[in-house]
Amino acid sequence: MHDPSHDHASHSHAGHSHAGHDHAGHAHSHAPKDFGRAFAIGVALNLGFVAIEAAFGILANSTALLADAGHNLSDVIGLLVAWGAAILAKRPPNERFTYGLRASSILAALGNALLLIFACGGIAWEAVWRFANPEPVASVTVMIVAGAGILVNGFTAWLFMSGSKSDLNIRGAYLHMVADAGVSLGVVIAGAVIMLTGWLWLDPLTSLVIVAVILWGTWGLLRDSIGLALAAVPAHIELAKVRGFLEGLPGVTRVHHVHVWAMSTNEVALTAHLVMPGGHPGNAFFKTAAHELQDRFGIVHPTLQIELGDGLVEDAD
């Protein structure tokens, strides 16, 4: 909001008077938690498990295992994409990218959602073919390998759990792993039922259930990542409450041109015009507003522009 090195001279703009464009000082820290170690462990564990699961899927003649291996491979790619975005998000701003590369995490979340949907198409295609051409399945092998998958995916999900609520990019990685753990559990159950009943059709049916579970979990990720890519207000923020808070600040008679958007999957920005006929409010006003916006709404990059006139003439949004 305000840089103390700037003077307080107002200037005329669109028919009314403004104080200089003020930005909240970065006295607070909002650096995202580093999940580099979690990504490294998750990629290594899952890549190793994909190789083992695919090999046993072929040996056991199980489309359910192969489907899970294919999905796990897409998750490894997804983890790599999310990891890369997390690294790029730390790049400092430059003359061309004045916000740095924070938005790469939004693109990674969107890419992961699309990758999951693509993987589902391949799994469903193979499962439908197997319905028409059922083959024997080594049920015990399927159960053992899928059981190992529950442990691998469950542990990897735990690594990302702490960041899953505040960062869409991390949430994408977390949801991948949680879904995989659940899918592996389904494969174990299917293997047990096939062993007891001989129902070979249950193997491809399990693959289709896997597809349904993945698509269900992916929808929210796809919707939210598209929204952030289009500069929508993040889902956890109610714009009416933000506007109400700004209108309640001392000396503010009216608020307009309020915009809230995500700079990355864990950083939110705001710009707003505050009509304050009583004059420039001073540095303390901006610092207090900045901390309140962060504490109440998680907005870490607020920019407030003060209008010293009556604010009756507005710029077009």
Domain of residue 20 covers 11-30+234-307
**pLDDT tens digits, one per residue of 183-193:** 778 778 888 88
Q: Is residue 2 part of a domain?
A: no
Task: Please tell me the pTM assigned to this model.
Answer: 0.68
User: Which CATH number do you get for residue 179?
Assistant: 1.20.1510.10
Residue 134 and residue 73 share a domain: yes
Whose CA is closest to 100, among 109, 108, 89? Answer: 89
For residue 197, what pLDDT band results from cuts at 50, 70 and 90?
A: confident
**pLDDT tens digits, one per residue of 252-261:** 999 999 999 9
Residue 16 and residue 66 share a domain: no
User: Which CATH number do you get for residue 268?
Assistant: 3.30.70
Place of tokens 């391949």: 122
Distance CA 265, CA 163 (A): 11
Residue 223 and residue 173 share a domain: yes
Q: Is residue 6 part of a domain?
A: no
Q: Is residue 317 part of a domain?
A: no
Choose the final residue of a domain: 194, 229, 264: 229
| Beta strands, E only, the chain | 11-13, 16-18, 22-23, 254-262, 268-275, 299-307
Could you tell me what percent of the chain has a pLDDT over 70?
A: 85
Q: Is 103 helix (H, G, I), strand (E, B) or coil?
A: coil
Q: Is residue 3 part of a domain?
A: no
Domains held by the chain: number: 2
Choose the final residue of a domain: 185, 213, 229: 229
Residue 239 and residue 128 share a domain: no
pLDDT score of 34: 62
Q: Are 2 and 21 in contact (CB under 8 A)?
A: no
